[in-house]
């Protein structure tokens, strides 16, 4: 669907939001409550695809030295976490569990060695980076055939082809690092400040300025 009067807008189709319009990326300095950057995109763009450009523009154009960044769960994507790491920014992002492969609930990730371990102590090692049309790249972790042959829990782990594997974000180590930060006091403080200053500013713009 396209607008005949505003060809730059995009169509959004979410459970609670439907229609033609735009999406705004906005950053607020929690120390002073100042809006440091605003970017506007067609509404059919994903926030996780545009956040890095939004932040990079502020560091270059406004010469902002951003060290910590609070984000909601819509940005809980491996590429976002890795991009922030490259820019020297520590992201404190709310967790989004439903987009993960269900297999990960059975295994525990070991960041020091980049492996997954099951409850029986078997190891799934990183195998290779795979590209799949439509979904993009992902990291494949798997175990040697026969390693779990006598395990009674195998049926819970194996895929439809009887292989035991985990498909993870191509930037899973960066993604997992954010999950570890989730239980820190700094995360709690950052999210609290975001709720006051960022969400408060967004609410004022919507309720009193028709945005």
Alpha helices in the chain, H assignment, sequence order: 47-61, 78-86, 154-157, 172-181, 185-193, 199-208
Alpha carbons within 13 angstroms on the beta-carbon side of residue 98 total: 2
Q: Which two tokens stand for residue 150?
A: 């006598």
pLDDT tens sequence across 16-54: 888 999 998 999 999 888 999 999 999 999 899 999 999
Say how far apart CA 179 and CA 175 lie, in whole Å.
Answer: 7
What's the pLDDT score for residue 49? 92
Say how far apart CA 42 and CA 44 lie, in whole Å.
Answer: 6
pTM: 0.86
pLDDT tens sequence across 49-77: 999 999 999 999 989 999 999 999 999 99
């Amino acid at each position: 669907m396209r607008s005949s009067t505003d060809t730059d807008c995009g169509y959004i189709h979410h459970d609670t939001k439907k229609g033609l319009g735009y999406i705004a990326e906005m950053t607020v300095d929690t120390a002073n409550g100042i809006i440091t950057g605003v970017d506007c995109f067609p509404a059919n763009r994903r926030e996780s695809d545009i956040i890095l450009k939004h932040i990079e523009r502020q560091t270059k154009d406004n010469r902002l030295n951003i060290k910590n960044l609070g984000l909601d769960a819509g940005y809980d994507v491996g590429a976002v976490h890795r991009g922030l790491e490259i820019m020297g920014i520590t992201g404190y992002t709310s967790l989004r569990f439903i987009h993960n492969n269900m297999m990960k609930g059975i295994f525990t990730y070991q960041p020091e060695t980049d492996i997954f371990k099951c409850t029986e102590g078997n190891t799934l090692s990183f195998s290779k980076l795979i590209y799949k049309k439509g979904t993009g790249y992902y990291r494949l972790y798997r175990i040697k055939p026969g390693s779990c042959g006598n395990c009674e829990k195998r049926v819970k782990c194996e895929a439809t082809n009887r292989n035991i594997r985990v498909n993870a974000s191509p930037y899973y180590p960066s993604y997992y690092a954010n999950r570890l930060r989730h239980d820190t006091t700094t995360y709690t403080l950052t999210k609290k400040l975001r709720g006051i200053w960022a969400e408060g500013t967004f609410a004022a713009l919507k309720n009193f300025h028709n945005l």
